[in-house]
Amino acid sequence: MTQAHSAGPIPDHVPPHLIEPDFPLVSGHFTLENPFDRIVPEACEGPDIVYVPNMMHGGRAHSWVLRRHDDIQAVYHDVEHFSNRDFSALGKLIGETWDLVPAEQDAPQHTFYRQLLNPIFSPGAMARMDDVVRKAAQDCLAGIEGRTSCDYIHDFAFPFPVGVVLDLMDLPRARMREFQEWEMMIIQSGDLDTIKRGIKSIADYLRGVIEERKANPGSDLISIAITAEVNGRRMNDDELMGYAFNFYLGGLDTVTAHTANFVRHLATHPDQQRYLRENPAQIRTAVEEFMRAFAAVTTYRTCSKETRIRGVTIKPGDRVAMITTLAGRDGQVYDDPHSVRLDRNPRHLSFAVGPHHCLGVHLARRELRIALEETFKAIPEFRLDPDVPIESQAGVIIQPRNLPLVWG
């Protein structure tokens, strides 16, 4: 057995030449450079499959990493050999019994949840959310009116999706900053004790909300989930907690990360920013290219039945990192993958594929499009403030932690 630094021994079946201890896109990695400029392109280079020690949960778990788009796509579809169970294990980290719903379930439980929840997040249902999403964007951007600079993360990219989620879950906007702080403890700290405190704070709060909605149901997405049923079955308390937590967390961090990454790129590419301002109908297509080029999210699968990928044996219990960033930058699938072409309109894996295709994809696309539309209306042509350093998270979710913009 080869001893890793903190996450225990590396299994014997892992070939030593495939161990990549310096892989950069790991939990707790922060940098003062834009990760997409050098770190991501370099992370795309190397063997098609490698084993990364101390990759997950603040360096406390190992994982296989797949570099090829087609291998990642195949694992998304392969429910025979790979399981979604406990890919984040947030509930278990604090000694509780809930899992993220429907993200951490396999069939047949996952099938039940999707049958129950798909109507809530259908294209038609989300299309009716346009006014809610646009008003949330406008409310945030109103605070920037009359200024010539802002921290786009603080002033918009964080509060905008939070506002949408709070409205859809009917949670108090007065506690927005507190909710953001809990989310940042989980996503950005890289420290296990801090992560646990953030999870517990959210879980305790949502548990109270669920009980209140059972007694006084409304038209919000928690109340709808409480009363929804398939074949006479409703979700139990653990399932409702997993659903509420998944929607709360997933609705905040991924939209924030992608919006910030898009705007950071446009701040340093004025020609593309100008083109989209002059051709707003092209924003919808541009969002798909941005989702490919700036895919930010890593999730995990656990091997449940021995299999082989690229001639490498993956054994039960092994984790596999599903790094959408690498899938979107695969030169075997995309021509000149590190260049952003606004007319490319690519198919990509940034919302996953297969049974676990993102439940909130129609809402997320709507948020990302409206975020750019309303930002262009509210802020003149912007650029980065050269005097303010930007710290970025470069693993699990790739995003800047601050984004200083200036204009005028």
Model pLDDT for residues 368-389, shown as the tens digit of each residue:
999 999 999 999 999 999 999 9
Out of 150-164, 168-182, 264-278, the most confident range is: 264-278
- Please give the residue that has the higher pLDDT: either 85 or 348: 348
Residues 6 or more apart whose Cβ sits within 8 Å of residue 174? none
Length of the chain: 408
Q: For the domain covering 2-407, report its CATH number.
A: 1.10.630.10
Q: What is the mean pLDDT of residues 180-188?
A: 79
Determine phi and psi for 158, rounding to 5 degrees: -80, -55
pLDDT-derived band of residue 1, with 50, 70 and 90 as boundaries?
Answer: very low
Domain boundaries, the chain: 2-407
pLDDT for 66 equals 98
Do 23 and 51 touch, CB atoms closer than 8 A?
no
CA-to-CA distance for 248 and 266, rounded, in angstroms? 28
Do 350 and 95 touch, CB atoms closer than 8 A?
no
Q: What count of other Cβ atoms lies within 10 Å of the Cβ of residue 2? A: 11
Structure tokens at 106: 């396999």
- Decide the pairing of beta strands 82-83 and 382-384: unpaired
- Please give the residue that has the higher pLDDT: either 180 or 193: 193
Residues 6 or more apart whose Cβ sits within 8 Å of residue 62? 4, 7, 8, 10, 51, 52, 53, 54, 55, 56, 319
- Please give the mean pLDDT across all residues of the chain: 91
CA 221 to chain centroid: 20
Whole-model pTM?
A: 0.90
Residues 6 or more apart whose Cβ sits within 8 Å of residue 249? 100, 183, 186, 187, 202
* Rg value, the chain, Cα: 21
pLDDT of 58 > 80? The answer is: no
Lowest mean pLDDT among 124-138, 255-269, 313-327: 124-138
Do 269 and 37 touch, CB atoms closer than 8 A?
no
CA diameter of the chain: 62
Out of 46-55, 104-113, 123-132, the most confident range is: 46-55
pLDDT of 2 > 90? The answer is: no
Q: What is the mean pLDDT of residues 224-238?
A: 88
